Structure 1
Amino acid sequence: MDPQSHPVVVGVDGSQEALQAARWAAAAAERLDAPLCVVHARPYSGHNPSDTVAAVRVAERGAARETADSGTVLAAAQDAIGRHHTGVNAEFVYIAEPVDEVLVRLSVHATMVVLGCGSVSPGAAILVGSTTVAVVSRAQCPVVAWRGDVTEPDQRPIVVGVNGDDDARIAVTAAFELADRFGAGVVAVHAGTMARSAEESHLSAVIDPLVRLYPDVEVTLVVDKDKPARALLRQLDGAQLVIVGSRGRGLLTGALLGSTGLNLLHHSPVPAMICRSSRASHD
């Protein structure tokens, strides 16, 4: 993350969860000393029939109506942020392109992208928002799928998944950076079937350099033999954020995100940050 030169980007669509996500993004930007970019764009028009219908309806309303709607959406976001975060350097923009394309393009120079997601429910667990999946799958910075009821970072722990690949190391680094700025602790979770001594040695190899770099961050190490997603979900009671790396590289959604990242997007009751190799090229 490089908050000095890269903004926190948040997408808004007029929904309550998007406004709450925008407030969280503004608070995070303040803590990171980063600018904030609040973006409203046309609906995602992917392969989900309901999304495509929504996009067609927007097009049918015509450009004048669309511009008026965007002004209302951005005004609501500006009001929600302005009442709580007067110190943040924020811009509010409408871009007349599909939202996933806009956010992916902005992710190239962003510290993070934030999107509001609905609360976990049986229905939400079956299909997370198509826009969120499309952005997470292609973004070139960390993406936060925000949900819950907390609109300010606080001192509750940040949970992060730890394994040996580059994306996971990026996730662990992000966890320590954010914890340091938020005044929070880190719960580092390693899930797997290695011998316990090997798992603890692996955790130490990843964590110890960051402990030295961020000495004020309290760290709890957890070794769990279960699958990574279940191991992480068990640690989320009382947490404010969960962070994982995604080593997915395939063409299908599950392969693009990785099973752990997709699981957390479906089931995490708290905001979930997905990190992929920074500024990587994507097939």
Structure 2
Amino acid sequence: MAHPASSILQHARRNLAEAEAVVALHAPDVSVERELVVGYPIAVLVAESRRADLVVLGDRGLSRVGDLLLGSVAVALACHGACPVAVVRGGGQAPASAPVVVGLDGSPVSELALAFAYEEASLRGAPLTAVHTWMDLVVDPAMAPLLDWEAVQVDEQVVLAERLAGWAEKYPDVQVRRVVTRDGPAHALLAEAAGAQLVVVGSRGRGAFAGMVLGSVSHAVLHRSPCPVVVVRPGKKR
């Protein structure tokens, strides 16, 4: 009878071979290096991220437990990894005309997310949707009826325009759609994700996107997005 550890290793080797076959089928020009590592997924992937441009996790979508495990690995990598982390979700491939969506809050990390999103949009020949929400401006709900929401909307549109300034010159091929809305960030991003091929968020923002990775917003996007999600954090540049 085969030792359980031997069976596990054989199964892992088959998975690696199948993965290499998928790459050969869909991207024959891409070289593949197989590596079978024994260890805890988080520790191994964090170590691998130090020499990577991107770490990609697949969503098996088998159960809520599977989602929780996926989330724990994704969150750990987003906090401690040295490169962006992609979580591939969704049952089908979005059309090439579908946009890349990026969440912005004006923080330095969201600038990194914007840079990543612009590059991806350019490489994919896709449009870019830049999302900025401002619901967190209301500290006291009792003051809400007294505020000039139209003026706030105009001010927040200026904020987003400032964030996008200069990028059009660097990526003239990327068409940009701006979304400025009084809404929660998770709800706004998930609404745009419904028709997107990729969602990009920063890992440590402020304001509406504060706690994007560690809090409920990140979990909502990672677990409910119908398309792949990339979490960008400070660290090695792509």
Asked whether 1:201 is paired with 2:170, we answer: no
Contact 2:213 2:219 in 1 (8 A): no
- Structure 1 match to 2:20: 78
Q: After TM superposition, list the pairs within 5 Å mapping 1:79-118 onto structure 2.
A: 79-118=21-60
TM-score norm. by structure 1 comes to: 0.69
Structure exhibiting the larger radius of gyration computed from Cα positions: 2
Q: CA deviation at 1:136?
A: 2.7
Q: CA deviation at 1:206?
A: 1.0
- Structure 2 match to 1:171: 113
Q: After TM superposition, list the pairs within 5 Å mapping 1:114-125 onto structure 2.
A: 114-119=56-61, 123=64
Q: After TM superposition, list the pairs within 5 Å mapping 1:124-203 onto structure 2.
A: 127=68, 129=70, 130-150=72-92, 154-193=96-135, 195-203=152-160
Contact 2:212 2:218 in 1 (8 A): no
Q: CA deviation at 1:177?
A: 0.4
C-alpha separation in 1, matches of 2:25 and 2:192: 33
Contact 1:141 1:275 in 2 (8 A): yes
Contact 2:109 2:205 in 1 (8 A): no
Larger deviation, residues 144-153 vs 183-192: 144-153
Contact 2:198 2:227 in 1 (8 A): yes
The partner residue of 2:191 within 207, 225, 234 is: 234
Letter in 2 for 1:61: P
Shift in CA distance, 78/176, structure 1 to aligned 2, threshold 3 Å: same
Structure 1 vs Structure 2 CA RMSD: 2.6
SS in 1 for 2:26: coil
Q: CA deviation at 1:153?
A: 8.1
Partner deviation per Cα, 1:186-213 (whole Å, 9 max, x = no partner):
0000001461122111111111211111
SS in 2 for 1:277: coil
- Structure 1 match to 2:219: 262
SS in 2 for 1:106: helix
Aligned residues with identical type, % of pairs: 35
Partner deviation per Cα, 1:160-190 (whole Å, 9 max, x = no partner):
1011111111111100000000100100000
TM-score norm. by structure 2 comes to: 0.81
| Structure 1 residues without counterparts, runs of 5 or longer | 1-59
- Structure 2 match to 1:15: none
Larger deviation, residues 65-74 vs 172-181: 65-74
Asked whether 1:271 is paired with 2:228, we answer: yes
Q: CA deviation at 1:84?
A: 1.6
Larger deviation, residues 206-215 vs 64-73: 64-73
SS in 1 for 2:235: coil
Larger deviation, residues 190-199 vs 97-106: 190-199
Contact 1:125 1:266 in 2 (8 A): no
Higher strand proportion, which one? 1
Contact 1:236 1:270 in 2 (8 A): yes
Asked whether 1:244 is paired with 2:186, we answer: no
C-alpha separation in 1, matches of 2:60 and 2:10: 25
